[in-house]
Amino acid sequence: TLIQTLKEAFTFAPKDLCNQVALTQIPHFQTIITTNYDTLLEDTYGDDCVVVLSAQDCINLPSNKVRIYKIHGDFSATENLIVTKGDYRKYFTENSDNSLWKLVQSFFLTKDVLFIGYSLEDDNISTILENVKKDTNNQKNNIYLISPSITKSKQNRLAGLNVKYVDSRAEDFFPMLIQSLNKNIIKDFRRKWVLAETASR
């Protein structure tokens, strides 16, 4: 079957987990949303994370763990996997009242968002960004895309969605970000830009 074929394809020993390890070193990241089926993130975070696959998983989420929202599911619950166009259409169109999806949408309104390794070609994500822009009268929250060498036309489209583009690979960006955070964390805490818990971590 298609699911079994995919499961076999995603059963592999990773060659490099540098980007995932770098994520664990940034305490500001407490919410991660991924469309990936693999378990690289939760394997790297270990006991410091909790995986969210459904609305039921959102009940009483621990505040001291990184929350990984796998919005296309994974192989632990194959009945919820989003693989085909039909799955996609059913989840995002017929399932418009889905509580988990509403929660994910709210992050784009209330949080700073950093896209890494994501093309932003997803119509649903683009629609969310357009709605946030419209509903807030074009007030800009901080939304960034880290990606190397995208076309000028796509950069212009992203700018129209209030997405700031950073021309970089994740493996180059993360070390610079971590260095900057380490240098400025005390100042950021004094300015009340970060919580004491984040500064302590």
CA distance 185 to 183: 6
Determine the pLDDT at residue 179. 93
Q: Which of 7-11, 162-166, 187-191 has the lowest mean pLDDT?
A: 7-11
Rounded to two decimals, the pTM is 0.85
pLDDT recorded at residue 95: 60
- pLDDT band at residue 198 under the 50/70/90 scheme: confident
Residue 42 in contact with residue 51, Cβ under 8 Å?
yes
* pLDDT value, residue 97: 57
Contact criterion met (CB below 8 Å) for 51 and 25: no
pLDDT at 137 over 80: no
CB 86, CB 80: distance < 8 Å: no
At 69 the pLDDT is: 93
- pLDDT of 45 > 60? The answer is yes
- Residue 41 pLDDT exceeds 90: yes
Do 145 and 163 meet the contact criterion of CB atoms below 8 Å apart?
yes
pLDDT score recorded for residue 176: 92
Comparison of pLDDT for 34 and 86, the residue scoring more: 34
